[in-house]
Structure 1
Amino acid sequence: MAKFLNTSATNYYLEELIKSASERLVLISPFLKLNDRIKELLEDKNRLKIDVRIVYGKSELQPEEINWLKELTYIRTSFCKNLHAKCYLNEESCIITSLNLYEFSQINNNEMSVTFSRVDDPELYKDAYDEAQRIIRISDEIRISLEKISQGEASDLNVGTGANDTNQEKLTSSKLAKKLGLKTNDLLSKLADSGYLEVSDGKHKLTEAGKAQGGEFKYSKRFGAYFLWPEELNI
């Protein structure tokens, strides 16, 4: 039968739900912002080649987290406009909750949840599963990366037509890394060594020297933070 969960119980059951997934895992949450524990659990699912679907409505990932996520082959991400539902399920159980993914393992908020299983509540599980699949179907599947910018955003951001480089195309860090035959993290390290980026609290930040070279920091509500660089950047 369905079971009510308070804040601490929600955290416990959610971790167990993720760990016990052996065929599929669906995580539906408005905010895509992952803490270290969630990352550890998802990395394990990826190693086991479990099919993981994450549906979100707003990304708050930092560039380093985006690079981390794009390396996980078996995790697919989808963007759903106006998403407010929080639903986490595997092939055997489901949790409907007020808990966002970014609040996982935190006890500062007061949360309420209900969990139920496919065996004990087959109709309830089927209804939740079907609705989760509907949300997935209406979502836009996205392979999250620093180079993912919609056409409208690219126009708004003047990619390729920056005020300081009207004749020089600007590339995201990942595209520039690909052009140079580097991994994105290696390029970010080189940019930091060149003084164009600095690392603060584990996050890269654009320096004045980087700005002088034509570097730009951008933020998209849909894809998070990223950098743009002149195509012929001297590093």
Structure 2
Amino acid sequence: MAKFLNTSAINYFLEELIKDTKDRLILISPFLKLNDRIKELLADKNRLKIDVRIVYGKSELQPEEINWLKELTYIRTSFCKNLHAKCYMNEELCIIASLNLYEFSQVNNNEMGVLIRRTDDGELYKDAYQESQRIIRISEEVRISLERVSSEVESNPETEETSFDKLTTSKLAKQLGVKTGELTEKLVELAYLEAREGKYYLTAKGKEVGGEFRMSPKFGPYFLWPNTFRPED
């Protein structure tokens, strides 16, 4: 059965939930603000290549935290308008509580919550998981950045010039005389990109050669590459 949690218990089980994640971690919280302990735990999940999804409604990250988060390849962030839910879950446990993510380890607040174990409350866990997936689906996946994107003109990155020294994958493919799909497959094969769950992610190697991830609200994610970039044979 579901277990009632007070403030200190929420903090304890939330840390254990994150640490024990083996497959996928979902953190849903209205405010995105990370303390040192949370960053330490998330960095460890990233090193283990654990898929982490963070859904938030408002970001209060400092510039140094933004730069830190940008380096974590396996952590994806999504913005959800009017988000007020607080739900934290992995493949075995789910915590639904009043605690915001930024309040983790702050025992001065009075919080309440419940702990759901998949093995004990399979249907309840399933309902919570399905709702978390719905929230993820209606959220806009973004790559948090310090860069300010102009909203005056929303152009298609594949048909408009993006910069003088950067090319989209399709434009680079055209320059190299190959199809976009062929170039993408080669970038994955050479570890400049990584394919996960039907999506592509920029790797550390891709960043080293100057690759950049961009998100267009209308056309979705895309990558930019230096116009002098030539994938190694």
Q: TM-score, normalised by structure 2?
A: 0.65
**Cα distance in 2 for residues equivalent to 1:87 and 1:29:** 7
| CA 1:137–1:148: 2 relative to 1, 3 Å | farther
Runs of 4+ in 1 over 4 A off after TM superposition: none
Matching of residues 200-211 of structure 1 within 5 Å: none
| CA 1:122–1:150: 2 relative to 1, 3 Å | farther
User: Can you list the C-alpha shifts for 1:62-120, whole angstroms capped at 9, x where unaligned?
Assistant: 11000000000000000000000000000001000000011000111100000011110
**Cα distance in 1 for residues equivalent to 2:27 and 2:92:** 14
Q: TM-score, normalised by structure 1?
A: 0.64
Q: By how many angstroms is 1:148 displaced?
A: 5.1
User: Can you list the C-alpha shifts for 1:9-42, whole angstroms capped at 9, x where unaligned?
Assistant: 0000000000000000000000000000000000
**Cα distance in 1 for residues equivalent to 2:133 and 2:150:** 25
Q: By how many angstroms is 1:2 displaced?
A: 0.4
Partner amino acid for 2:37? R
| CA 1:150–1:51: 2 relative to 1, 3 Å | farther
Q: By how many angstroms is 1:145 displaced?
A: 1.1
The total of aligned residue pairs comes to 156
Q: By how many angstroms is 1:151 displaced?
A: 1.4
Q: Which runs of 5+ in 2 are unaligned?
A: 155-208, 211-233
Q: Which runs of 5+ in 1 are unaligned?
A: 155-180, 183-235
Q: Which residue of 1 aligns with 2:11?
A: 11
Q: Which residue of 2 aligns with 1:80?
A: 80
Q: Does 1:107 align with 2:107?
A: yes
**Cα distance in 1 for residues equivalent to 2:73 and 2:148:** 17
Percent identical residues: 81
Q: Which residue of 1 aligns with 2:41?
A: 41
Matching of residues 215-226 of structure 1 within 5 Å: none
Query: 3-state DSSP class of the match of 1:77?
Result: strand
**Cα distance in 1 for residues equivalent to 2:63 and 2:6:** 33
Q: By how many angstroms is 1:149 displaced?
A: 3.5
Q: CA RMSD in A?
A: 1.8
Q: By how many angstroms is 1:50 displaced?
A: 0.2
